[in-house]
Structure 1
Amino acid sequence: MNTITKGVDLVLRLVITFAFAVLVACVIWQVFSRYVLESPSTVTDEMARFLFIWVALLGGAYTLGQRRHLAIDLLPQVTSGNVRLTVNAAIILAIATFAALVMIYGGVDLVNRTLSTGQVSPALRLPMGLVYIAIPFSGICILYYCLTFLADLFRSGRGPNDQEGTPKAGGPLD
C-alpha cells in the first residue's frame, strides 16, 4: 500500500504543479494583455478560473494525504488509549463519508447532468463536465487517503493528524 500511496502522491504533486504553473502563466498574460496591450484575453481568464478549481480541490486532497490539512485536533490530544483510537477513527470515517457521498456520489451526478445538458464554457467551449470532474477525482483521492489512515490507525495507533514522534493512540489490544 505504501508504493501505491507514493504513486498517488507523485501523480497529485505533478498535476498540481503543472496546473499551478499554467495558472500563473495565464494570470501573468491576463495582466499583461489588459494593461499593456489594452486588450484583455477572455481565454486565459476562463482557463485560470478552471485551473484554480483543479488546484484547490487536488491541493486539498494532497494536503490531507500529507497529514498537513488544517484540523481542530482538541479531542485526540486530550484523550488516550482506546478512546483516542475511537476518536481518530470517527474523524477519519466522517471525512471518508463526506468524500464518498458529497464529492464522489454528488460529484459524479453533477458531471453526468452537466455533460448530458451539453453545457460548455463561454470562451474555451469546453464541456463543463470536464471542469467539474475535479470534484469526484479529488473525492476518490481523499477516500483513498482515509482508507490508508484507517489502516495505519489500527496497525500502529497513528491518527490522521499525528506526525512522526507524536504520542500515538492505544493499539487495538490496549
Structure 2
Amino acid sequence: MLLKLVITTIFVVLVACVSWQVISRYVLGTPSTVTDELARFLFMWLALVGGAYTLGLRRHLAIDLLTQKLSGRARIISEIFVLFAIFGFATSVMIRGGSQLVLKTMASGQVTPALQFPMGLVYGAIPFAGAIIVFYCVIFAFELWRDGPSSPELGETAPLGGPLD
C-alpha cells in the first residue's frame, strides 16, 4: 500500500507539473523552467519505482514461454534462474552502481540547474528501486521454495497485491 501511495503521489505531481508547463507556455507565454525540470526527475522516479512495483505485482514484462512449457523440477530451476538474474542485476547494477553514482554526485556537490536540488537525490531512484526489486526477489524465492513452481495458465493474470501493495 505504501509503495502504491508513493507512485500515485509522484504521478499526480508529475501531471500537475506538465499541465502547468503547458498552461504557462501556451496560455501565459512564459514557460516555467522549474516545472520542466521537476517533471523530468519525477518521471525518472516514476519509471524506476513503478517498474519495481510492477515486478512485485508479478505483472512485469517477461518472456516466459520456456518456463510455462516446463513442469516440475525443470520449471523450478527455470524460475530460480530468472530470479537470480533479476536479483544479480538489481544488486550489482542498481544498488551497487546506483549507490556509487549517488555518492559521487553528492560528493561533487552537483545540483540541478533550475531547482538547485542535489543530483545525488535525483539519482537515488536507482538504488531505491533496486532495493525494492531485491526485496521482491527474496520474497518470490521464499514462496518458490515453500510452495513449488507457480502454474498460471496461459492468459491468466498474476494475483494482485504483494508485501508493499
| Corresponding residue to 2:97 among 94, 106, 131 | 106
State the TM-score, normalizing by the size of structure 2: 0.90
CA distance in 2, matches of 1:128, 1:160: 43
Task: Report the Cα offset of residue 158 of structure 1.
Answer: 3.7
* Conservation of the 8 A alpha-carbon contact between 1:57 and 1:138: yes
Tell me which moved more, 74-83 or 127-136.
Answer: 74-83
Q: Name structure 2 gaps, 5 residues minimum.
A: 158-165
Q: For 1:8-33, what per-residue CA distance to the aligned partner results, in whole angstroms no more than 9, with x for missing partners?
A: xx221111000100000000000000
For 2:134 and 2:152, locate their aligned partners in 1 and report how far apart those are by CA, in whole Å: 16
Q: Are 1:69 and 2:77 an aligned pair? A: no
**Runs ≥4 in structure 1, deviation > 6 angstroms?**
160-163
After TM superposition, the structure 1 = structure 2 runs for residues 127-146 of structure 1, keeping only pairs within 5 Å, are: 127-146=118-137
Q: For residues 19 and 12 of structure 2, what CA distance do their matches in structure 1 show? A: 11
The counterpart of 1:28, out of the listed 19, 27, 49, is 19
**What is the CA-CA distance between 1:78 and the residue it aligns to?**
1.2
Give me the whole-angstrom Cα distance separating, in 2, the residues matched to 1:160 and 1:52: 34
Identify unmatched segments of 5+ residues in structure 1: 1-9, 167-174
Relative contact order (alpha carbons < 8 A, sep ≥ 6): 1 or 2 greater?
2
Count of residues in correspondence between the two structures: 156
**Counterpart Cα distance in 1 of 2:35 and 2:90:** 30
The alignment yields a C-alpha RMSD, in angstroms, of 1.8
The TM-score with structure 1 as length reference comes to: 0.86
* Mapped partners of 1:128, 1:74: distance in 2: 40
Give secondary structure in 2 for the equivalent of 1:126: coil
Which of 104, 110, 113 is the matching residue for 1:119? Answer: 110
| Alignment counterpart, residue 149 of structure 1, candidates 108, 121, 140 | 140
Letter in 2 for 1:112: L
Of 54, 58, 76, which aligns to 2:45? 54
What is the CA distance between 1:104 and its match in structure 2?
0.2
CA distance in 2, matches of 1:162, 1:37: 54
User: What is the DSSP-based 3-state SS (H/G/I as helix, E as strand, rest coil) of the residue aligned with 1:76?
Assistant: helix
Cα deviation, residue 144, structure 1: 0.3
Cα separation, partners in 2 of 1:160 and 1:24, compared to 1, 3 Å: farther
Change in 2 beyond 3 A, CA 1:23/1:102: same
